[in-house]
């Protein structure tokens, strides 16, 4: 089976908005064994959208559209579907009820413009939107499946997972099974990973490996295709083993794992608690740690000690040390880690100090210089980093390398 994705919105053609939905859907459809050969973008224009859906349905088994289901004059998807099917727009009472509940929960008055979203083409199946207002639509047209999803990724994602994916699974029996596995590596340059698995990267289908460099990490994506679940799993396992043989030390996780989720699992398992004192990262490390559900079990506290007076008065780092070594120094990173550990009564303390830029650098201490200390019981792990990039990138890379250092040492 194959599919096409049509993204709707003039904002995409003008580059005002980044098209994340196409990537998300391409990946999810590939995982279902559905090939995507074509993706396109059309503006907020009924005639062109109608034409795009008709052409896509002439070539492909499934047409998925995203966007254009909102309450504004630009939102044309439902009406275009009603033109395609030659059906009138009718009020869907369940959608209306969901809409009323949506506003009630927020203690807001129901907006009349929103009520428009409860009108859908007659006979079309509505898919509940548990995050926003616009329902998804499923219909058949000339024997093809047409699926219309809302544009906001936070609405589209759950709707695809909860309703569209199960719907499609029922309809694609007997075809290929495609599976993918992502191996995630940190603290290793892309070129080194590339060199280590050069042969794997040249593999041809049905099993392929791709290499992707992301901020502070490298990912190897294994994709395999076979007639059944067992064969496809065996292919993936074989490649995974080969990658592990070459790069074991750098692998921090798989698939949805993040450095913070993996570290969190280790801390939970070891029943260790953690506290962090941040200067240049400004709360990003605490934020990443607490993005993990259940982090309240091991995360005791974070302190963003941005000014020297906070380092001295709240954290209790001695004024003399700051004067002697400078606030950005290995000594102060150690003192921050020691003091936060003591203050929180945690098993692990982390201290970070550095220059995130763009101002504040000197020849001796340039922008991108970061000192970190991790104290685990009596063990001290010290590190000097040198990063390049924007302020936000330096903050991110710092937390990335510190989380990896933490993972390796707990």
Q: Which two tokens stand for residue 186?
A: 């940190």
Query: Cα separation of 216 and 399, whole Å?
Result: 9
Using the rule CB under 8 A, which residue among 8, 156, 183, 305 binds its own copies? 305
Tokens 């459809």 belong to 29
Closest listed residue to residue 352, CA positions, set 339, 361, 364: 339
Half-sphere exposure of 265 (CA within 13 A, CB side): 8
Using the rule CB under 8 A, which residue among 1, 90, 96, 310 binds its own copies? 310
Q: Which is nearer to its own copies, 18 or 91 (CB)?
A: 18
Which region among 64-72, 140-148, 169-177, 250-258 touches its own copies (by CB under 8 A)?
64-72
Q: Give Cα 13 to chain centroid, integer Å.
A: 24
Q: Is residue 294 involved in binding its own copies (CB under 8 A)?
A: yes
Q: Which of residues 311-370 bind its own copies (CB under 8 A)?
A: 314, 343-344, 356-359
Q: How far is the CB of 307 from its own copies (least distance, A)?
A: 6
Using the rule CB under 8 A, which residue among 93, 107, 173, 248 binds its own copies? 107
Q: Which is nearer to its own copies, 139 or 263 (CB)?
A: 263
Q: Which of residues 367-386 bind its own copies (CB under 8 A)?
A: 386
Query: Cα separation of 129 and 120, whole Å?
Result: 14
Q: How far is the CB of 349 from its own copies (least distance, A)?
A: 14
Which region among 89-97, 109-117, 141-149, 262-270 touches its own copies (by CB under 8 A)?
109-117
Q: Which of residues 115-174 bind its own copies (CB under 8 A)?
A: 131, 152, 154
Q: Which of residues 209-228 bind its own copies (CB under 8 A)?
A: 210-213, 215, 221, 223
Q: Is residue 15 involved in binding its own copies (CB under 8 A)?
A: yes
Query: Cα separation of 243 and 204, whole Å?
Result: 17
Q: Which is nearer to its own copies, 126 or 188 (CB)?
A: 188
The one-character DSSP state at 45 is: -
Q: Which is nearer to its own copies, 108 or 142 (CB)?
A: 108
Q: Give Cα 5 to chain centroid, integer Å.
A: 21
Q: Is residue 101 involved in binding its own copies (CB under 8 A)?
A: no
Strand (E) or helix (H) holding 50: helix 46-59
Tokens 């606030």 belong to 327
Closest listed residue to residue 186, CA positions, set 274, 241, 283, 253: 253
Which region among 118-126, 135-143, 279-287, 401-409 touches its own copies (by CB under 8 A)?
279-287
**Residue 57 and residue 144 in contact, taking contact as beta carbons nearer than 8 Å:** yes
Which region among 90-98, 232-240, 261-269, 283-291 touches its own copies (by CB under 8 A)?
283-291
Helix (H, G, I), strand (E, B) or coil at 181: strand
Strand (E) or helix (H) holding 120: strand 119-121
Using the rule CB under 8 A, which residue among 2, 18, 88, 323 binds its own copies? 18
Strand (E) or helix (H) holding 230: helix 229-247
Using the rule CB under 8 A, which residue among 175, 228, 307, 362 binds its own copies? 307
CA distances to 32, 112, 139, 256 from 25, rounded to whole Å, are 10, 32, 18, 16
Which region among 107-115, 166-174, 238-246, 261-269 touches its own copies (by CB under 8 A)?
107-115
């Amino acid at each position: 089976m194959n599919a096409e994705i049509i993204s709707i919105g003039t904002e995409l053609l003008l580059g005002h908005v980044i098209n994340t939905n196409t990537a998300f859907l391409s990946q999810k459809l590939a995982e279902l064994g559905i090939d995507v050969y074509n993706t396109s973008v059309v503006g907020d224009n009924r005639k062109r959208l109608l034409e795009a859906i008709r052409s896509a349905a002439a070539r492909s088994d499934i047409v998925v559209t995203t966007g254009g289901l909102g309450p504004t004059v630009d939102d044309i998807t439902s009406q275009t579907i009603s033109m395609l099917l030659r059906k009138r727009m009718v009020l869907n009472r369940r959608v209306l009820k969901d809409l009323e509940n949506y506003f009630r929960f927020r203690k807001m008055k129901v907006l009349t413009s929103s009520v428009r979203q409860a009108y859908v083409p007659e006979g079309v199946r509505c898919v509940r939107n548990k995050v926003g207002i616009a329902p998804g639509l499923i219909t058949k047209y000339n024997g093809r499946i047409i699926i219309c999803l809302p544009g906001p990724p936070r609405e589209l994602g759950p709707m695809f997972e909860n309703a569209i994916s199960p719907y499609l699974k029922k309809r694609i029996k007997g075809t290929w099974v495609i599976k993918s596995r992502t191996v995630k590596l940190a603290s290793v340059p892309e070129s080194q990973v590339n060199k280590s698995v050069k042969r794997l990267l040249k593999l041809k289908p049905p099993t392929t490996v791709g290499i992707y460099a992301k901020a502070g990490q490298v990912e190897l994506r294994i994709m395999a295709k076979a007639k059944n679940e067992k064969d496809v799993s065996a292919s993936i396992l074989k490649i995974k083993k080969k990658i592990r043989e070459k790069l074991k030390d750098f692998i921090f996780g798989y698939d949805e794992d993040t450095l913070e989720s993996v570290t969190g699992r280790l801390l939970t398992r070891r029943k260790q608690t953690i506290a962090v004192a941040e200067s240049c990262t400004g709360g990003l490390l605490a934020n990443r740690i607490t993005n993990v559900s259940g982090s309240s079990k091991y995360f005791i506290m974070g302190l963003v000690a941005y000014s020297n007076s906070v380092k001295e008065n709240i954290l209790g780092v001695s004024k003399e040390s700051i004067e002697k070594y400078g606030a950005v120094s290995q000594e102060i990173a150690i003192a921050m880690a020691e003091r936060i550990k003591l203050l929180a009564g945690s098993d692990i303390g982390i201290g970070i100090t550095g220059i995130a830029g763009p101002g504040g650098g000197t020849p001796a201490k340039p922008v991108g210089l970061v000192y970190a200390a991790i104290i685990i019981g009596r063990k001290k792990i010290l590190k000097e980093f040198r990063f390049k990039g924007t302020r936000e990138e330096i903050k991110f890379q710092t937390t990335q390398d510190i989380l990896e250092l933490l993972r390796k040492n707990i």
